[in-house]
Copies of this chain bind each other. A is one copy, B any other.
Amino acid sequence: MSEDTRWLNDVVWDEQGLVPAIAQDAQTGEVLMFAWMNREALELTAVRREAVYWSRSRRKLWHKGEESGHTQRVHEIRMDCDGDVVLLKIEQVGGIACHTGRRSCFFQRHLDGGGWEDVEPVLKDPADIYVKK
């Protein structure tokens, strides 16, 4: 790739070669999801301006939205003080980041008495998001 990629050397990759990535709505500030990136994922994210993660379970690059259409347009890439966490400011295409059909993955709220409650609506049935072709 012709683009200068030395900036990727400033990232402190963990022992698996990964870095945590937080996706935040660029307009509202809402935290939409959390995933992991390897070096190639972060490079592709910067080049395409669309979020590409590393799926630890499937052990492969995961272009977010490749199945659902719910891609993430990247407005900004931030890195934290220690260089070991990345924050993406994004526009969530389709308005749904979560595989459950909710806007954000962080829909479970801790209750004072213990337990968790779901506090965000399902906007679309996952069966309609992940349609077998």
Interface residues of A (CB under 8 A from B): 3-7, 10, 20, 22, 24, 28-31, 33-34, 46, 76-83, 85, 87, 98-100, 102, 105-111, 113-116
> Inside 8 A of A111's CB, which chain B residues have their CB?
7
Q: How far is the CB of A83 from chain B (nearest CB, A)?
A: 8
The 5 closest A-B pairs by CB, nearest first: A29-B29, A77-B110, A4-B114, A80-B105, A78-B106
B28 near A116: Cβ-Cβ < 8 Å: no
Q: Which residues of B contact A107 (CB under 8 A)?
A: 78, 80-81
In the complex, what distance in Å separates the CA atom of A78 from the CA atom of B108? Answer: 5
Query: Are B81's CB and A98's CB within 8 A?
Result: yes
Offer 12 A-B interface pairs, CB within 8 angstroms, sorted by A.
A3-B114, A7-B111, A20-B34, A22-B22, A24-B31, A28-B29, A31-B87, A76-B110, A77-B109, A78-B108, A81-B102, A83-B108
